[in-house]
Amino acid sequence: MQTEKFKPFYLFFITYMTQTGIVLFMLPNMIANYFGYNGWLMIIPISVFAMIQIGLIAGIYYFNKGSSIFQTIETSFSKVNIIAKPLYLCLSIFWSVLSITVAKQYVHVMKFLYFPQTNIQWFVLLTLILTYYLVTSGIVTIAHVSTLFFFLSAPMIFLLIYFVPDFSFLQFSTFVFNEHNDFYGGMIELYTAFLGFEVTLFLFPYIKKEKKVFKYVFLGHLYTTLLYLSVTIFCYGFNSFQQLNYQVYPVINLLQYIEFDFIERLDSVFFILFYLKLLITITMYIWISLVTFKRVVKWSVQRSAFVLLVVGYLVTLPFVTKNELTSLLSLLAKVQILISIFLPLLVLTIIFLKRRRKHV
């Protein structure tokens, strides 16, 4: 891997770009379904919970003094490798499958909306090629590319201004969480929208050492929260609650409403522009999968990345329809939640045990 390091402020872009994905387009519908009236309020506590998780990761960075978590795990006990190596392999394959599933879900929506006659596999293959190209360029290039893509895709948020004239506070109503179903299930689903911050756990050795490194991860997370909040609030203010409950992709519906004199129906342009953001999400998961994989197998980066992408592709090959993909992604995301909670805890425990041993 490259020994080159990047400045901590790139963490802002990486965190934000990894967190947001296709879920943004369905978020208001998901929130309306699970939490009912004024469900957008739930974004705040869930975001705070994710923030606590980031705090844990920041703690690890602080205690670890910026060295890789793999080193921390591998030097904890004498025979840890017997457990660690198979675990690494499983995690690595899991992340590769997760990222390809994320890609497939986006591609499926795109095909469903704009390319009804094209086979989904073509889009997946193109995405794999791009991911391979980006992931083999090294983390510094990924950081640079994510910055560039951030600036290209971030101005889309200004489109919300278009809806200001039609925005009505009356739509919010005075009820809070009425007509909700499966509150706890909804919280888990909503938490998956914030997943992505955990990739920073693997970035430690690649960050230039400066003060307040994790400030940028927090800022990235806050930006994601702000985006989710503003989009959901606008959806709640623009649509009635009943409409929101029926629209599968309310944000796309919102985009379809935009119309100028010289151009009509810009949603396809914006939705496809969103691919830039998605590519970073996929690449980051493939990248952590690659880093983990390389701890076990001493292949070249190119070969490892190729193998991981092929494995991910083959595993997800049977999943084609929307329902299959949604249920697979929901399952994988739940596993990822567990990883995002327990991996930092595990590493922290190891660090404390090590410190204790030192003091003894």
Residues that bind other proteins (CB under 8 A): 6-7, 110, 114-115, 118, 122-123, 126, 130, 133-134, 137, 141, 144-145, 147-149, 151, 261-266, 268-269, 272-273, 275-276, 279
Nearer to other proteins, 25 or 149 (CB): 149
- And the tokens for 321? 């329809």
Q: Scanning the structure block, which residue is given the tokens 């993909």? A: 325
Nearer to other proteins, 261 or 323 (CB): 261
Cβ 201 vs Cβ 55: under 8 Å: no
Distance CA 157, CA 27 (A): 15
Nearer to other proteins, 191 or 275 (CB): 275
Cβ 49 vs Cβ 193: under 8 Å: no
Nearer to other proteins, 276 or 301 (CB): 276
* In the complex, minimum distance from the CB of residue 264 to other proteins, in angstroms, rounded to a whole number: 5
* In the complex, minimum distance from the CB of residue 117 to other proteins, in angstroms, rounded to a whole number: 10
* In the complex, minimum distance from the CB of residue 345 to other proteins, in angstroms, rounded to a whole number: 34
Nearer to other proteins, 145 or 217 (CB): 145
* In the complex, minimum distance from the CB of residue 215 to other proteins, in angstroms, rounded to a whole number: 17
3-state secondary structure 68-82: CHHHHHHCCCCCHHH
In this structure, the number of other CB atoms found within 10 A of the CB of residue 45 comes to 11
CA 154 to chain centre: 16
DSSP-based three-state secondary structure for 259: strand
Distance CA 134, CA 142 (A): 6
* In the complex, minimum distance from the CB of residue 349 to other proteins, in angstroms, rounded to a whole number: 36
